[in-house]
Each structure stands twice: as structure tokens, then as C-alpha cells.
Amino acid sequence: MLENCILLSLFAKENLHRMSEEQLNRYDRLINEPSNDWDIYYWATEAKPPPAEFDTDVMALLREFARNEKKEQRLRQPDLEYLFEPPR
């Protein structure tokens, strides 16, 4: 689903490099276990509450990111070159 691809890839670019191993494991579980991508989108955009097992600090970070309080333009996924750049 395009909306999740954009949301999750930009979130990953901005946050994964500063997450602990436990947070990375929770993020991995979040993006791989739910069988419906729309569930992740609804949880991230606060349209629906997540189930307890996904209501974590990582979900809180994702929700904050999804609010986009800085009103950044987020029209496409980031280029993958950032994977080879030093973290900000």
C-alpha cells in the first residue's frame, strides 16, 4: 500500500539509526506481523487504537511522525542512498 510505503520508509530513514535493539525488534514485528496494511495505517494515523501488543514506544514514535507537525512534504519514498550515509 503506497501510503504505508511512504510513511514507514520516511519514518525508518529518520528514526531507525537511533533506536535500541529492542525498539528495532518491536518495529520489525509491527511491520511484519499484522496481516492487513490498513491496520498499521489506521493505528499510525490514530484513526483506530492499536491492539495492546502493538501499543508500544515505537507506535508512539510512529504516531508522532505521522502527525507531521512540521508540515513536511511527504510525497514519495526516500532514495536508498541514505542507507550509506552517516546518521544525522
pLDDT of residue 75: 77
Q: Are 29 and 88 in contact (CB under 8 A)?
A: no
The pLDDT tens digits of the residues spanning 26-50 come to 999 999 999 899 999 999 999 999 9
Query: What are the tens digits of pLDDT across the range 51-83?
Result: 999 999 999 999 999 999 888 887 777 777 766
- pLDDT (0 to 100) of residue 12: 94
Contacts of 18 (CB under 8 A, 6+ apart): 87
Instruction: Give the CA count within 13 Å in the CB-facing half-sphere of 34.
Output: 20
Query: Which three cell numbers mark 24?
Result: 528495532
13: closest CA among 71, 81, 75? 81
Looking at beta carbons, which pairs linking 14-20 to residues 24 or more positions away fall under 8 Å? 14/65, 15/61, 15/65, 17/87, 17/88, 18/87, 19/58
